[in-house]
Structure 1
């Protein structure tokens, strides 16, 4: 079946056209089909599109929701937007639409805006945002990259790979080490002897068979998962529950001596958290085809020691981060565990191999190729550090940011830095993901749900390949303008130059972006090209970050004032008929009050609010608890709110209208069996309350705040829904057991 398009082959309009003229009466004013896009967004959240796999960015939203919003803005009012969601096509070449994202982040708005042929402008405080977004929209010299990777392999790859070899126990030939399993060591407070902080003795579980590590003789052996007792095949040591180690919920307990204390109290600057012992390996042998787990032999230990000795000799010549870990909301946990420098988050072998690789990349002569190799290197960092765990029943490594946090582990897993045939998160796999992402830009698809209820791909003729301009003057449909800085100061953008501001701002205290971004920033700062790209300071920018961070004493007032200043600048640069649209959710009313106050004080009016499925449902910070599954799209136009006197009758009217609209939203979501939690319903109601408030020309007063606070406390009794769930679900929930992943 041929693909529908917004234009026929002769360029004659056959369907509603994307145009800035439709901003006066867009389809959005009629409806946003959030129920239609719900399952599509869930599927995309579980498996992001290839271009967004090229590098980690935090709290990145699904592209389908932003595409839906753009189409709803640029198609005429009477259009059924969902009928045209999968239609390829761009804005008419004689029609200009300029879209700006003041919190560019992971580049979702920029990519989707570029896809429909808009002029795109992005700004973000973080240099990493510009690096990642640039990589998402620019074309890559793939053949040159492959050629340079081959050269790197000969120059340094062979040396790195030699540090990740072992003797295959089946054919006695060299095999690739995919992962080294470590256990942290500490000094006993009872007898000062070295103790080992095992949280589990299970290496893997596959088809009812456990691969176990014996703490008595260091043997690796197999056992049926149904066995009530698991006996070591070498020393006959028995374990009733090998998933139970000596560490549980941050506490160590010695089963023999009874010694017990919190893990963080074992830090001594010498052993914990720095000293680890390799206990097992996952290997793949290219000679005999064997892929399994094995015990560590003397050669493996010697190879690890050689890496430490080599690092000691070369440390001062390698671009290894020297920065201290700054005290912050996300960093305080690892600081409490004794981590003081970012380099301490890596094993000696990782520091050596990453340093050697980055040094070689920074000497590449072609700056274009160097940029792409730097992106791949940076992307590989999230799975090459001591904060990576092993998913024993998924048989793969999990990245450091499985949560939006730094979680110290007592049993970290060391990846193969360069990479082997199997495994994930290595430098080579990161290069391959980058190339696959660039292929996606030439063969863009959207997720759709087929007649069997399964996700499938619908390909489009749209393409994304943009140049980067240095200023607003260079902006056109093929040249994006991406900048780094504080969006409270947008002097480089003219008045009335933007049609749509579409963004995903920080959500109060939900994510401490700069503290997490430091993990990548400290490495990129070490390079020449990194500094050319904005990584000039040793740590990521924090002073101007618009968030709520109690550790850095950034309050809700600071947050509201920051958003207000950004929105005021957006109002200045936005045309009269333009829109400010952004996503938001929060469980704290203080955050909502801050956002609404910022809207009102920047000459905007909230005219509509629609729920859309939130970020990835696969992370531990969003799943397996009564968390928020939906963002709210807040639709604002330029308008000055004329204050009306607030009466009890008016407050009741606002509340009743909000209840009515919330009930309609819930019914639409119930009809598609959507996953809704009580916090979701609270956010639905809050957003509708504020829409009604603005439509009644009322500003946010103390009386309104108090009334809303009282109502929210009993929302679950006031709004009835039989399909409210107590927790969110995701593919990972059956694989991830917090007891075995955290100390």
Structure 2
């Protein structure tokens, strides 16, 4: 390969894979900047740092230069910035950056990540806000300790969904199981009695075949619940009925059945957590919060927006959730409304914006779709998977929170935000030496930019961050030193439908300030994700991707790289990419492997999905030496295995699909006619994929490689 192709020659697969795999295990420790705000499917920052260094570094090996500070000049663009990883890594290396995203939440997150931060001013405002809000709501998050009878702060309230029997009208709890806490981080298993509601501790896990006995009412207790496969039998008349009810038009009812609280009584000798069944005083406190909400609701900045129909939100509608506010209980609405209102009164703009960002992020732990983790004994994020899973047992978190106790509350997220912004001021890398982690400060690098509304200067570390379709931003010819991006993977994540949850609240404070927060939703027809509800299919995705690639490729300097990540097991899923590359006049000069996901992620575990991305490196060149699929795959596997990765069939299938797409581009580039119809271009790409796949049977290659790996071990 030509020496002018620096990235293709210099990229170190093993070194990158080693760093990226470690980062994805605890990404918030390796790249604390992700703590500014949630975004979905973030790629490892270590991957993009390595890619940028491979292209723009001098002659020293990346493994040496990676740990040094750099100050490059030029302009790097990301047309699908999302959570901003390529933007941050390029900015940190000294580049000016251009980032666009059609979703205003992406715009806000990246702006806040690059914005100036005054820690003292933030902490002072935070302290004032917390003090004021606690004065109004603290009583609603207090309970009486069952051991010392003193008042104690609540960590979590645990609720269960209820549904009336259609035959007799009896309210039925929908318990999928009766377990509250496992005997891992607590001395014993804690289960609720389905008859009297008492919490019971057991050394073993009682089952229907071997039940336990309730200490209060002497009823049998088992871990199994009464709700299974969307069916439940009425406790009074035994009628079996389905949940949720058909054509539900109101959100489900809930009953509070457990509380976890914090008390320091017996702290020197007592082991385990404090759990209790709610008493009448606890129920009265909730009722008072509901009554206060009824009086103040119209004056508080609480969203009234409908939840639009969508591929992900249809699950919410099936359960009767029609408005965003219905995803919260009355105490949450009251407390969140008071907190948001108080934040809007902070006069210093940058500090107010920072606190609003914390608020927008932390509400994913402050709603009635959060669940309680019976193993870790903590609240689970509504977005623990990339969707809106509606569970039967909910966890209501303390809104303000207890400092250094629990998780998911406002004070916890504020500290996470501070850590993220301090990392921006003093970035570091994490090095493992002799089995021990060591932080390596990269003195001289920062993540910060001066914002501009024009094309940024290549020497000023400026940032043009815009909430708009990527094709609408002005890009002068030969103004870009490179494009580095992580585009949407067709319909893998419905970004707008999910981020509407945060946006509905944030626009209460920013709707009068920023034009991109005027609409009632972040959804737009031009969004480049497949979406059945909005009629966006593969043709829409392909045409849109092609327009973006063409727009940005036309602004590249001669021989500058266009780099993007992608993964999918099906070679035909790469059709839009092949068409987009060829329409943009780009040839694929390399397809490189890089870890992208964590194997334990809920949407990856126990599936055939891959944890690897293919990194496509493209340049405006007519021809390249098309390396064989088998040879490139063997090199990929060797590099990844040297980093300690154990490759699965799903990983190999994904890498093979990436190389097939690369070879298809190499084959079609010289005869490609951009003016042909989309149907004809898709046909040509499909034929190329089919022919190359037939010559390189994935099943045979996978079997061969896995067999070699087995014989080696």
Q: TM-score, normalised by structure 1?
A: 0.87
> Matched residue of 1:387: which SS?
coil
Q: Does 1:142 align with 2:122?
A: no
Partner of 2:561 in structure 1? 579
Partner of 1:703 in structure 2? 687
Quote the Cα distance in structure 2 between the aligned partners of 1:151 and 1:723.
Answer: 63
| Distance change >3 Å, CA 253–CA 720, structure 1 → 2 | farther
**1:527-561 deviation per Cα after TM superposition (whole angstroms, max 9, x unaligned):** 14674273111110321101111222111111111
| Distance change >3 Å, CA 542–CA 52, structure 1 → 2 | same
Q: Does 1:36 align with 2:19?
A: no
Residue pair 1:274, 1:344 contacting (<8 A) in 2 also: no
Report the alpha carbon displacement of residue 237 of structure 1 after superposing the two structures with TM. Answer: 1.9
Partner of 1:80 in structure 2? 61
| Distance change >3 Å, CA 469–CA 388, structure 1 → 2 | same
Correspondence list, 1:44-55, <5 A: 44-48=23-27, 49-55=31-37
**1:369-416 deviation per Cα after TM superposition (whole angstroms, max 9, x unaligned):** 110110110111110011111111111111001110001111110001
Partner of 1:730 in structure 2? none
Report the alpha carbon displacement of residue 264 of structure 1 after superposing the two structures with TM. Answer: 2.3
Residue pair 1:323, 1:522 contacting (<8 A) in 2 also: yes
Residue pair 1:98, 1:500 contacting (<8 A) in 2 also: yes
> Matched residue of 1:358: which SS?
helix
Partner of 1:177 in structure 2? 154
> Matched residue of 1:122: which SS?
strand
Quote the Cα distance in structure 1 between the aligned partners of 2:638 and 2:645.
Answer: 10
> Matched residue of 2:557: which SS?
strand
Partner of 1:732 in structure 2? none
**Match for residue 568 of structure 1 among 536, 539, 550:** 550
Partner of 2:362 in structure 1? 380
Quote the Cα distance in structure 2 between the aligned partners of 1:416 and 1:396.
Answer: 12
Partner of 2:705 in structure 1? 721
Report the alpha carbon displacement of residue 724 of structure 1 after superposing the two structures with TM. Answer: 10
Correspondence list, 1:122-201, <5 A: 122-201=99-178
| Distance change >3 Å, CA 509–CA 117, structure 1 → 2 | same
Residue pair 1:361, 1:370 contacting (<8 A) in 2 also: yes
Report the alpha carbon displacement of residue 450 of structure 1 after superposing the two structures with TM. Answer: 2.6
**Match for residue 339 of structure 1 among 314, 321, 332:** 321
**Match for residue 692 of structure 1 among 663, 688, 712:** 663
| Distance change >3 Å, CA 168–CA 570, structure 1 → 2 | same
Report the alpha carbon displacement of residue 718 of structure 1 after superposing the two structures with TM. Answer: 5.9
Residue pair 1:678, 1:716 contacting (<8 A) in 2 also: no
When structure 1 is superposed on structure 2, of 120-129 and 693-702 the one drifting more is: 693-702
When structure 1 is superposed on structure 2, of 137-146 and 153-162 the one drifting more is: 153-162
State the aligned residue count: 682
Report the alpha carbon displacement of residue 320 of structure 1 after superposing the two structures with TM. Answer: 1.1
| Distance change >3 Å, CA 521–CA 69, structure 1 → 2 | same
**1:281-307 deviation per Cα after TM superposition (whole angstroms, max 9, x unaligned):** 000025665741111000110111111
| Distance change >3 Å, CA 553–CA 268, structure 1 → 2 | closer
**1:564-618 deviation per Cα after TM superposition (whole angstroms, max 9, x unaligned):** 1001110122111211100001234343011111110111111101010013444
**Cα-Cα RMSD:** 2.5
Q: TM-score, normalised by structure 2?
A: 0.90
**Match for residue 471 of structure 2 among 483, 488, 497:** 488
When structure 1 is superposed on structure 2, of 618-627 and 410-419 the one drifting more is: 618-627
Q: Does 1:285 align with 2:263?
A: yes
Quote the Cα distance in structure 2 between the aligned partners of 1:589 and 1:90.
Answer: 39
Partner of 1:468 in structure 2? 451
Partner of 1:365 in structure 2? 347
Residue pair 1:675, 1:723 contacting (<8 A) in 2 also: no
**1:71-93 deviation per Cα after TM superposition (whole angstroms, max 9, x unaligned):** 001124x54222322223322xx
Quote the Cα distance in structure 1 between the aligned partners of 2:688 and 2:244.
Answer: 45
Unaligned runs of 5+ in 1: 1-22, 643-652, 727-743
**1:48-94 deviation per Cα after TM superposition (whole angstroms, max 9, x unaligned):** 22221221001111110010000001124x54222322223322xxx
Quote the Cα distance in structure 1 between the aligned partners of 2:24 and 2:515.
Answer: 29
Report the alpha carbon displacement of residue 463 of structure 1 after superposing the two structures with TM. Answer: 2.1
> Matched residue of 1:472: which SS?
coil
Quote the Cα distance in structure 1 between the aligned partners of 2:692 and 2:173.
Answer: 52
Quote the Cα distance in structure 1 between the aligned partners of 2:597 and 2:32.
Answer: 16
Unaligned runs of 5+ in 2: 673-683
Quote the Cα distance in structure 2 between the aligned partners of 1:724 and 1:112.
Answer: 37
> Matched residue of 1:361: which SS?
helix
| Distance change >3 Å, CA 641–CA 324, structure 1 → 2 | farther
Quote the Cα distance in structure 1 between the aligned partners of 2:542 and 2:414.
Answer: 40
Quote the Cα distance in structure 1 between the aligned partners of 2:707 and 2:294.
Answer: 60
Quote the Cα distance in structure 2 between the aligned partners of 1:180 and 1:484.
Answer: 38
Quote the Cα distance in structure 1 between the aligned partners of 2:221 and 2:692.
Answer: 55
Partner of 1:89 in structure 2? 70
Quote the Cα distance in structure 2 between the aligned partners of 1:52 and 1:303.
Answer: 36
> Matched residue of 1:206: which SS?
coil
| Distance change >3 Å, CA 331–CA 587, structure 1 → 2 | farther
> Matched residue of 1:577: which SS?
coil
Quote the Cα distance in structure 2 between the aligned partners of 1:32 and 1:560.
Answer: 29
Q: Does 1:443 align with 2:435?
A: no
**1:440-488 deviation per Cα after TM superposition (whole angstroms, max 9, x unaligned):** 1233222333322x55433221222323223325775343221110002
Q: Does 1:662 align with 2:633?
A: yes
Residue pair 2:69, 2:442 contacting (<8 A) in 1 also: yes
Q: Does 1:275 align with 2:253?
A: yes
Partner of 1:18 in structure 2? none
Residue pair 1:217, 1:235 contacting (<8 A) in 2 also: yes
| Distance change >3 Å, CA 494–CA 501, structure 1 → 2 | same
Quote the Cα distance in structure 2 between the aligned partners of 1:266 and 1:521.
Answer: 29
> Matched residue of 2:517: which SS?
coil
Q: Does 1:624 align with 2:606?
A: yes
> Matched residue of 2:544: which SS?
helix
Residue pair 1:101, 1:123 contacting (<8 A) in 2 also: yes
Quote the Cα distance in structure 1 between the aligned partners of 2:599 and 2:53.
Answer: 25
Quote the Cα distance in structure 2 between the aligned partners of 1:230 and 1:266.
Answer: 35
Quote the Cα distance in structure 2 between the aligned partners of 1:640 and 1:342.
Answer: 52
| Distance change >3 Å, CA 216–CA 497, structure 1 → 2 | same
Quote the Cα distance in structure 1 between the aligned partners of 2:43 and 2:437.
Answer: 18
Quote the Cα distance in structure 2 between the aligned partners of 1:80 and 1:139.
Answer: 33
Q: Does 1:260 align with 2:246?
A: no
Report the alpha carbon displacement of residue 525 of structure 1 after superposing the two structures with TM. Answer: 1.3
Residue pair 1:675, 1:724 contacting (<8 A) in 2 also: no
Quote the Cα distance in structure 1 between the aligned partners of 2:580 and 2:253.
Answer: 49
